[in-house]
């Protein structure tokens, strides 16, 4: 039987990299996505020495041509994809809403919202070829309008206009694809990895990348009976 395959965007480091490692240990063939070819190749080498079946693929989620080339590469080596993980993301400026430049908000949306839309649309034919497939959108608790509007939530005071609203939009994108794909065998869910120590936040997060990746891996490995159109933290449903 052909090995299951997964493509992870922004997998040259941090949460995406660790997700590749965990899925690699489960026997998946890893397409390690990186916008920088050299960083991707280095990261793939370090997984390969652990015995993981990994290939580096260049993919900048903001660039149509780059995404098209990545699809062609995966298509030429197997022709199907079992799992897509839209992990690449950027924080943008961490300033009060009134001070954030519109250009910065636009940049964040290009990567965090339009990136996953572009990549998902482009890989859908290969995901359909798999018969049963999973798409995971790596969102954030800061995208939860339920938590952001709850004065008792730890996220209530974290008021970043561009980043937070980009993840709320990504959650809406998750639902939209999930609804269209009902009955297709493709599940689409969003994961909140939690506040995790990575370059993203100067390593101030209190969770490890191992903890962050495990909830993503759970969604990536759902079987045919698993949920679709949900938002989860460590396997537990959280408010939109």
The site for ligand NAP (CB under 6 A) is made up of: 9-10, 12-16, 35-36, 39, 59-62, 87-90, 111, 138, 140, 193, 195-196, 198-201, 205
What are the counts of helices (DSSP H) followed by strands (DSSP E) for the chain? 8, 8
Q: Which residue is nearest to ligand NAP (CB)?
A: 89
Element housing 152 (H / E): none
For the residues of 165-201, what is the DSSP string, one character each?
HHHHHHHHHHHHHHHHTTTTTEEEEEE---SB-SGGG
In angstroms, the CA 160 to CA 94 distance is 6
Q: Count other Cβ atoms within 10 Å, centred on residue 179.
A: 11
User: Would you say 3 or 64 has its CB closer to ligand NAP?
Assistant: 64
> In b/e form, how buried is each residue of 147-165, taking b as 16+ CB within 10 angstroms?
bbeeeeeebeebebbbbbb
| Contact of 215 with 232, CB cutoff 8 Å | yes
User: Would you say 12 or 228 has its CB closer to ligand NAP?
Assistant: 12
Minimum CB separation from ligand NAP for residue 27, in Å?
Answer: 23
User: Would you say 206 or 223 has its CB closer to ligand NAP?
Assistant: 206
User: Would you say 3 or 55 has its CB closer to ligand NAP?
Assistant: 55
If you search the block for the tokens 């998946």, which residue do you land on?
28
Q: What letter does residue 112 receive in the DSSP assignment? A: I
β-strand 231-233 against 186-191: which pairing, if any? Answer: parallel
Minimum CB separation from ligand NAP for residue 141, in Å?
Answer: 7
Which one, of 227, 95, 104, 219, lies nearest residue 166 by Cα? Answer: 104
Minimum CB separation from ligand NAP for residue 18, in Å?
Answer: 8
User: Would you say 129 or 197 has its CB closer to ligand NAP?
Assistant: 197
User: Would you say 142 or 186 has its CB closer to ligand NAP?
Assistant: 142
What token pair was written down for 213?
């990746």
Minimum CB separation from ligand NAP for residue 9, in Å?
Answer: 5
User: Would you say 28 or 200 has its CB closer to ligand NAP?
Assistant: 200
Minimum CB separation from ligand NAP for residue 110, in Å?
Answer: 7
Minimum CB separation from ligand NAP for residue 40, in Å?
Answer: 9
CA 28-219-19 angle, to 5 degrees, is 50
């Amino acid at each position: 039987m052909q090995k299951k395959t997964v493509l992870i965007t922004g997998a040259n480091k941090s949460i995406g990299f660790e997700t590749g490692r965990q899925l690699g240990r489960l026997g998946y063939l890893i397409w390690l996505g990186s916008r920088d070819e050299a960083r991707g190749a280095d990261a793939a080498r370090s997984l390969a020495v652990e015995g993981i079946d990994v290939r580096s693929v260049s993919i900048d989620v903001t660039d149509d041509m780059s995404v098209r080339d990545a699809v062609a590469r995966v298509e030429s080596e197997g022709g199907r994809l079992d799992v897509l993980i839209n992990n690449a993301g950027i924080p943008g400026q961490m300033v009060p809403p009134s001070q954030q430049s519109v250009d910065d908000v636009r940049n964040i949306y290009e990567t965090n919202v339009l990136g996953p839309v572009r990549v998902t649309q482009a890989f859908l034919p290969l995901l359909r070829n798999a018969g049963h497939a999973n798409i995971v959108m790596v969102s954030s608790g800061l995208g939860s309008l339920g938590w952001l509007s709850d004065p008792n939530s730890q996220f209530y005071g974290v008021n970043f206009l561009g980043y937070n609203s980009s993840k709320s939009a990504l959650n809406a994108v998750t639902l939209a694809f999930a609804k269209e794909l009902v009955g297709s065998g493709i599940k689409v869910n969003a994961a909140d990895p939690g506040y995790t120590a990575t370059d993203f936040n100067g390593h101030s997060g209190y969770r490890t990348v191992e903890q962050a990746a495990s909830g993503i891996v759970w969604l990536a490995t759902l079987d045919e009976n698993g949920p679709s159109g949900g938002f989860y933290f460590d396997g537990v449903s959280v408010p939109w």
